[in-house]
């Protein structure tokens, strides 16, 4: 069972649910044991949308998506469902647009096509793509049958569709691979700014987690800066990305964290660790989960079966231990 907590560790709901997640405390998606979902005001307990849907997403303003017996569609928190409810899939809104799959042929076939909806249910970008990623920094990666590129919010191709593999745009850069699997960073205009044989993720707070081989052939991970130079002179077994000046790193199957100067500020002692939000880092130790500060002090006790990241409003989903 799941509940919500704030950054002081206080539980925010009167009862636990099969699953629960919140945009704000006034908009809480909850799941019942029947596996149906709805929306409620977490402060008052008022049901805004009855729990009759198979899936309900986090709300952006008064609008989100949901799944019924006929398919996915959009739903208003007070006015209910509206528009087309025969779509194969819809994802969360990003940069004001939701990635949606329109069924052009039998469900699940290669004939389904992806585009982007606004919060009114209008196709801002027609469903013509075979694959697509959500928007990030004003661009979305999209593909046809064989190659990927990037479009803007008007649907214009701004980075040519010539790549075999792409990543979301972060800090004005995206890591891509061409048809020969050569790796590049490209900017928002599609210009190649750096070529590498290593596997890179994305930039966050000026650093990018990178994976490659050491001189003795071991697989290692490290960070590069915006000049594409290796930093911190450390070799890790795994890394996450920087958030609020802290990045989780793993060595010998234990996680700790470094700061923006590369100093180890949380020792390698945890079995898992998330990124920092509101000064708190979710971590797991054995079968228990809780939150630690940027210096490794326990801020919220390790009394949960699982902890998620805090959202921008300071609310986190936690899994309660089995009784």
312 CB neighbour count, 10 Å cutoff: 9
| Alpha-carbon radius of gyration of the chain | 21
Q: What pLDDT is attached to residue 61?
A: 85
Residue 297 is given by DSSP the state -
Q: DSSP of 92-150, one letter per residue?
A: EEETTEEEEEE-SSSTTSTT-EEEEE-TTS-EEEEEEESEE---BTTBEEEE-SS-EEE
Residue 159 three-state SS: strand
Three-class DSSP category at 108? coil
Question: The tokens of 41 are what?
Answer: 């005001």
Sequence-separated (6 or more) residues with CB below 8 Å from residue 80: 49
User: What are 175's strand-pairing partners?
Assistant: 185
Residue 145 burial class via C-beta count within 10 angstroms: exposed 0-12, middle 13-18, buried 19 and up: exposed
What residue spans of the chain are helical by DSSP H? none
Location of structure tokens 């729990």: 51
DSSP secondary structure string for all residues of 73-106:
EEEETTTEEEEEEEESEEEEEETTEEEEEE-SSS
Instruction: Tell me phi and psi for residue 56, to 5 degrees.
Output: -135, 130
Residues 6+ apart with CB under 8 A from 208: 175, 200, 201, 202, 223, 224, 225, 241
- Looking at residue 78, its pLDDT comes to 87
Residue entry with tokens 């660790």: 273
Buried b (16+ CB within 10 A) or exposed e, 273-296: bbbbbbbbbbbbbeebbbbbbbeb
In tens digits, the chain (323 residues) has pLDDT values of 999 999 999 999 999 999 999 989 999 999 999 999 999 999 999 999 999 999 998 888 899 999 999 899 999 988 899 999 989 999 989 999 999 998 765 544 455 689 999 999 999 999 999 999 999 999 999 998 889 999 999 999 999 999 999 999 999 999 999 998 899 999 999 999 999 989 999 999 999 999 987 777 678 899 999 999 999 977 899 999 999 999 999 999 999 999 999 999 999 999 999 999 999 999 999 999 999 999 999 999 999 999 999 999 999 999 999 86
What pTM does this model have? 0.90
Q: What is the pLDDT of residue 105?
A: 52
Beta carbons of 113 and 160 less than 8 angstroms apart: no
Residue 306: the pLDDT is 97
Q: Is the dihedral of CA 84, 86, 87, 92 positive or negative?
A: positive
Residues 220, 236 contacting (CB under 8 angstroms): yes
Which helix (H) or strand (E) segment is 315 a member of? strand 315-319
pLDDT of residue 323: 67
């Amino acid at each position: 069972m799941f509940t919500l907590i704030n950054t002081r560790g206080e539980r925010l709901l009167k009862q636990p649910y099969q699953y629960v997640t919140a945009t704000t405390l006034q908009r809480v998606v909850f799941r019942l044991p029947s596996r149906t979902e709805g929306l409620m005001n977490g402060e008052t307990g008022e049901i805004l949308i009855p729990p009759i849907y198979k899936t309900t997403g986090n709300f952006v303003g008064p609008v989100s998506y949901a799944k019924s017996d006929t398919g996915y569609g959009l739903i208003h928190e007070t006015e209910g469902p509206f528009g087309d409810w025969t779509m194969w899939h819809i994802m969360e809104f990003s940069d004001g647009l939701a990635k949606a799959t329109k069924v052009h042929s039998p469900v699940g076939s290669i004939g389904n096509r992806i585009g982007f909806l606004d919060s009114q249910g209008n196709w801002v970008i027609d469903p013509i793509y075979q694959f697509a990623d959500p928007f990030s920094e004003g661009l979305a990666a999209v593909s046809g049958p064989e190659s990927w590129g990037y479009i803007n919010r008007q649907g214009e191709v701004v980075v040519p569709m010539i790549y075999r593999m792409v990543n979301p745009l972060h800090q004005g850069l995206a890591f891509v691979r061409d048809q020969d699997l050569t790796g590049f960073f490209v900017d928002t205009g599609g210009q190649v700014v750096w070529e590498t044989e290593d596997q890179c993720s994305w930039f966050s707070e000026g650093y990018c987690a990178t994976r490659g081989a050491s001189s003795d052939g071991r697989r290692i991970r490290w960070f590069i800066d915006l000049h594409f130079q290796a930093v911190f002179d450390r070799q890790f077994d795994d890394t996450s990305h920087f958030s609020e000046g802290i990045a989780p790193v793993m060595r010998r199957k234990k996680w700790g964290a470094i700061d923006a100067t590369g100093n180890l500020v949380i020792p390698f002692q945890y079995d898992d660790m998330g990124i920092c939000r509101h000064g708190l880092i979710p971590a797991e130790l054995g079968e228990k989960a809780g939150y630690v500060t940027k210096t490794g002090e326990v801020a919220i006790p390790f009394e949960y079966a699982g902890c998620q990241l805090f959202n921008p409003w300071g609310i986190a989903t936690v899994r309660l231990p089995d009784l």
